[in-house]
Amino acid sequence: MSARRCSCYCCASSRCFSVGGEFTGSVSYLVETAPQHRRGLAGSFANFGSTAGMLLAAAVAAATVTLATPEQLHGWAWRLPFLLGGLIATGGFFLRRRLRDTGYRPKAARPSDPLPLKQAITLAPGAMILAVLFTSGYGIVNYLTMVFLPVYTSEFGGVAESSVLQLNTAAQAVALVVVPLAGWLSDHLIRRRTLLIAAFVAEGAVAVGCFALAGTGGVAGFALAQILFGILLALVMGTAPAMLVELFPSAYRMSGYSVSFNVGIGIAGGTAPLVATSLIGATGNLLAPAWFLMLGAVLAAGAAVLMQDRSRDPLR
C-alpha cells in the first residue's frame, strides 16, 4: 500500500471521530421547528449545509492556491482560509444564540428519573437497534462512494488524482441540488421509508458496475460512477435526517438519535475504507469493495423496511 493511499484512508477513518458533533442537534432542531408537511425538507438542510461547507472549503483552498504565489502561500496566504472559517464560525455562534425554543420539551426530570440515553435503550430498544443498523449501512455506502472511490480510481484506474478530486467535487455539487429535493419529495410525494429503500436498493444494484467503470473506464467511467453514486446518496441525505428524528419521542430524541447515528456512521462508516482496502489485499479482487458496498446497502435497506415511517404523523 502506498504512503499516499494509506494517508488518505487514515484521514477518512479519522473523520469518524468528528462525525456528529452538533449535527444531530441541528437536525432535531430543524425538524422540530418545521411544519408537519415540511419536516423532510427542513431536516435535509443539515446535510445541505455540511455539503455546501465542504464545497466552500474546496473553493477557497483552490482560489488561495491559484491566486497566491508559492512564496505568498508558504509565507502568509495559507492562513486566509482559516481566517474566513473563523469569521463564518463566529457568525454561526451569534446566530445560534438567537434561536427560538422548539416547544418540544419533556416533562421536568426528577432525580430518580433515568438518563435520556437509558430511556432510549430501555423504552425503545427496537428503534435503537434498527437506527444503528440503518446508519451503519448508510455509513458504509457513504464512505465507500464519496471517500474511498476517488482514491481507488487514482490507484487502480490510472486516473490522475487531480482529476478524481475535481470530479468528486462536481458530484458533491450535483448532490447539493438533490438533497433538498429529496427532502421535499419525502414530504409530499413519496414516503420516507419508500424513498430510502429505493435509494439503497439502487446503490446495491449499481455497485459492481460503478466500481468496474471507476477501475477501467478512465476519466469518463469514473465521472459516470461518481455522479451516479452522488445522486443516489443525496436521496438518502435528504430523507434520512427527518426519518431518524421521527423515530424517537422528545423525552429521549437527542440521545437516541445521536448515539445511533454516531455509532453507525462513525464506526461502520469511518472504518469502511480500511475494510475495503483489506478486502482487496486478502482476496486480490479489485471488485471486493463493491461487494462490501452491496452488503452495506442491503443492511440499510433491510433496517429501513422494519423502521416505522412517521412522516405523515404529528411529531411525538
- Averages of pLDDT over runs of 10 residues in the chain (316 residues) are 48 46 85 92 93 84 84 89 88 79 59 78 94 97 95 93 88 95 96 97 97 95 96 97 94 91 92 96 96 98 96 88
pLDDT computed for residue 138 by the predictor? 97
Half-sphere exposure of residue 275, counting CA atoms within 13 Å on the CB side? 18
Q: What is the pLDDT of residue 21?
A: 63
* Residue 7 pLDDT: 46
pLDDT of residue 222: 96
Cell of 150: 476517488
Residue 282's pLDDT is 96
Instruction: Confirm if 24 and 240 have CB atoms less than 8 A apart.
Output: no
Is 255:125 a contact under the CB 8 Å cutoff? no
Q: Which three cell numbers, joined as nine digits, stand for 300?
A: 440499510
pLDDT for residue 2? 52
Residue 152 confidence (pLDDT): 96
Q: What is the DSSP letter of 110?
A: P
pTM: 0.86
Q: How far apart are CA 29 and CA 73, in angstroms?
A: 40
